[in-house]
Amino acid sequence: MRTLAVASAETETVVNRSRFVCTLYRVGSDAEARERIGAHRRLHWEASHNCTAYVLDDGQSARSSDDGEPAGTAGVPMLEVLRGRGLTDVLAVVTRYFGGVKLGAGGLVRAYGGAVSAAVDAAGTVELAHWQRLTVRVDYGPAGSIEGLLRLREDVRLVNVEFGAEVVFDVACSDVELLVDWFASQSAGAAEVEPAGTFRVEL
């Protein structure tokens, strides 16, 4: 799966004098997507239509709305572009300002889908992966150098560091066995490692 390379992006296309302004947002939940849609529609209340489509949960959840356009001519083609690009956690809102020329069903499908496609091209995307997550406990002695080295590694994401009676690293990695061996070598075998599920990373 992929997602947007930026938090939001906007592009505009014109088809037979109608303006199609596509705004893309990165969203993390259904509630956030709905909130964005509501805010967008309030901001662009004077537009002819504010059609929407969004995909969440690695493509498992998706919704769309034609917002008054003929059924299936706006939200569905917008959603098909998002799915066709393998995107997730992305909301697309296409705001149409009617230019006086009717486009017909086929023209609307091409216009709405094309608006989203152009916006995705302009925004750029990043690949997502699910890496294994580990909780690693080490003494304070080697912790400073371990943290510094972890931050330099491209195959590791340092999610969090906690300082208490010992130092606890919350890390995600592309190769668990390799990282476990690395922690053992850096801590003279004293590191305590526990699996902690998975963590989604941007590559």
Radius of gyration for the chain, computed over Cα atoms and rounded to the nearest angstrom: 23
pLDDT for residue 30 is more than 90: yes
Residues 15, 100: one domain? yes
Cβ-based neighbour number of residue 162 at 10 Å = 11
Number of domains the chain is built from: 2
Residues 12, 57: one domain? yes
Q: Looking at residue 85, what is its pLDDT?
A: 96
Residues 27, 85: one domain? yes
Residues 197, 145: one domain? yes
pLDDT for residue 59 is more than 90: no
**32 vs 85: CA distance, rounded Å:** 22
Domain boundary among 123, 147, 167: 123
Residue 104, domain extent: 2-123
Cβ neighbours of residue 57 under 8 Å, at least 6 residues apart? 88
pLDDT average, residue stretch 116-129: 96
Residues 108, 132: one domain? no
Residues 88, 143: one domain? no
The alpha carbon of residue 166 and the mean position of all alpha carbons in its chain are separated, in whole angstroms, by 34
